[in-house]
Amino acid sequence: INSKKLALGLSSGAWPLLRRLKNLGYVDHLSLPKFAASEIQERPKELIIDSPFDILCSNWTKEHLIIVIGSVALVTRLVATLIKNKSEDPVLIVIDSEANFVIPLLSTHKGGADSISLHLAESLGAKAVLTGNTQSQGYLALDSFGYAWGWNRSGDDKNWRQLMINQASGKQISVIQSSGSNLWKESKAAIKSLKKHNHCKPTDIEFYIGSKSIYKCSWHTSTLWIGIGCERETSLNLVERALTNVLEKTSLSKESIAGLATIDVKSNENSLLEIAKINNWPIRFYSSNDLSQISVPNPSKSVYEAVGTYSVSEASAILAAGESGSLLEQKNIFHAENTEKGAITIAVSESKKPFAPYRGQIHLIGSGPGELSSLTHEARSTLSKCSIWIGYKLYLDLLEPLRRNDQVRIDSKLTEEKDRCLKALDLACQGIQVALISSGESGIYGMAGLALDLWLKMPEFN
């Protein structure tokens, strides 16, 4: 199986729901035990037929999403010997064959089973049965909420587990944030979970949001830009070693890297292209003319003679970070060792806002005639996915009963449609899932046309 999304039915009665899950896009592969498959007429050739235990065994990895249609008790017995720990188990969700209840069993936070179950329940018109402390008490899921805001997580699972235990025991949680959107703090769940404070020592911090790597429990925003200058055919190993060295020296996290930046003559430099591909980082290429306009702390005459600008690594890092960015680390020079080739300079800057458009999305949602009962399952499911709802206040008020404690709304006034769209685009570029809400049908009377027009006018992202 190439895809990691699988649905397993424990009886022939699960077949209609299995097909429905695939049609909705939640899974790519369907499976049944032999006795159940024998009762299905015109079953597809790609249907996986095997014993439920063997199917579960062959798909039991942390990368998998497994949805089982059947009894929770039976599923519990089937997986009992397969369960390892939070870091290795797949996302496991159970649904009854009538699609009345969606129950997340494993990887509820880190794997996202709770979130997926909420979206799935809305799609099916079912009820998500979430029994965790954060859901029952209305707390923010501190160990998983950052994914929805476009952030990366670091820290030992034991430390995160202790943080969640502290939260469950009623202790107030402290946080320090050095970058990224603060809008998450406006959610009801965050207000309940956090202790308000003005100053706090690093030893008192329960968790951290930003680009530093010195804290036990951290969410990292994509705000760091790595400026690179190098000789031709510089070894990939040298690039990796130099980058690791600089990050360790500055106590900055690799998880906060938004992308790389360099001069355009390096657009075919294999080592830079390879490290960007390995880490899924964009690369921004700048002309020597653009780079020469930037004032840098360490201009080099030899660099100018080679490429027509006095700086590559520092100037490209500053350019990539934007007008409000700052140079955190001046250029570091590294030379080849052992079997390595070439030489490299690395500088680090930080942008004011995170850059992760490949994670963010804008969902254009029409609220219909105003009655919640008229809202489609697709609209409900999409609203469930979004961290931020943006719209005219009256429309958001109509949908308010559907908003969870961890979701944030941004109210807007009439005649502010352009500002509303620009705000949604800005947040999506930071990596956030955003719902842009209109009345009626968004494509005819709503925001779809304006949002598309403004998006097309934005600069292309590298």
Neighbour tally for 70: CB within 10 Å: 19
218 has pLDDT over 60: yes
* DSSP letters for 274-312: HHHHHHT--EEEE-HHHHHTS--SS--HHHHHHHSSS-S
Instruction: Note whether 44 and 124 are within 8 A (CB).
Output: no
pLDDT reading at 444 higher than 80:
no
Reported as a pLDDT band with limits 50, 70 and 90, residue 197 is very low
- Average pLDDT in the 256-261 region? 98
Task: Note the pLDDT tens digit of each residue in 101-149.
Answer: 999 999 998 889 999 999 999 999 999 999 988 888 889 999 999 999 9
338: exposed, middle or buried (C-beta count within 10 Å: 0-12, 13-18, 19+)? exposed
Query: Which residues make beta-bridge pairs with 361?
Result: 433
Examine the pLDDT at 225 and tell me if it is beyond 90. Answer: yes
- pLDDT for the residue numbered 133: 84
Lowest-confidence segment of 116-125, 324-333, 350-359, 443-452 by average pLDDT? 443-452
d(CA 19, CA 29): 10
pLDDT value of position 451: 86
Helices (H), 336-416: 377-385, 393-399
State how far the Cα of 232 lies from the Cα of 58, in Å rounded to an integer.
46
C-alpha to C-alpha distance for 389 and 129, rounded to whole angstroms: 24
Q: Which two tokens stand for residue 230?
A: 């190098």
Q: Where are the alpha helices (DSSP H) in 213-260?
A: 236-250
SS3 readout for 139-188: CCCCCCHHHHHCCEEECCHHHHHHHHHHHHCCCCECEEECCCCCHHHHCH
% of the chain at pLDDT higher than 90:
78
417, two tokens: 């449609």
Query: What's the average model confidence in pLDDT over 178-193?
Result: 93
pLDDT at 299 (0 to 100): 95
Does the pLDDT of residue 195 top 70, yes or no? Answer: no
Q: Tell me the pLDDT tens digit for each residue of 358-399.
A: 999 999 998 877 788 888 888 999 999 999 999 999 889 999
The predicted pLDDT at position 455 comes to 87
Q: Per residue in 171-192, is it b (16+ CB within 10 Å) or e — as a string? A: eebbbbeebbbebbbebebbee
- Give the pLDDT confidence score for residue 373 in this predicted structure: 83
Q: Does residue 203 surpass a pLDDT of 70?
A: no
pLDDT tens column, 391-422: 999 889 999 999 999 999 999 887 788 999 99
Q: Is pLDDT at 2 greater than 50 in this prediction?
A: no
pLDDT higher than 50, residue 1: no
Sheet with 343-350: strands ordered across: 283-286, 257-263, 224-230, 343-350, 326-335
Q: What is the DSSP string of 15-31?
A: HHHHHHHHHTTS-SEEE
Among 202, 150, 155, 194, residue whose Cα is nearest residue 171? 194
In terms of pLDDT, which residue wins out, 434 or 452?
Answer: 434
Calpha distance 14→37 (Å, rounded) = 10
pLDDT digits (tens, 9 = 90+) for 159-183: 999 999 988 888 878 899 999 999 9
- Checking if the pLDDT of 202 tops 60, the result is no
* pLDDT surpasses 70 at 196: no
pLDDT band at 6 (very low <50, low <70, confident <90, very high): very high
- pLDDT, residue 319, reads 97
Residue 88, pLDDT above cutoff 80: yes
- In 287-440, DSSP assigns E strands to 326-335, 343-350, 361-366, 388-392, 408-412, 433-438
Mean pLDDT throughout 9-26? 95
Task: Note the pTM of the prediction, 2 decimals.
Answer: 0.87
Q: What is the mean pLDDT of residues 75-85?
A: 95
Question: In this predicted structure, what is the pLDDT of residue 123?
Answer: 93
What letter would DSSP give residue 194?
Answer: B
Query: What mean pLDDT is reported for the chain?
Result: 92
Question: Of 341, 236, 222, whose CA–CA distance to 278 is shortest?
Answer: 236
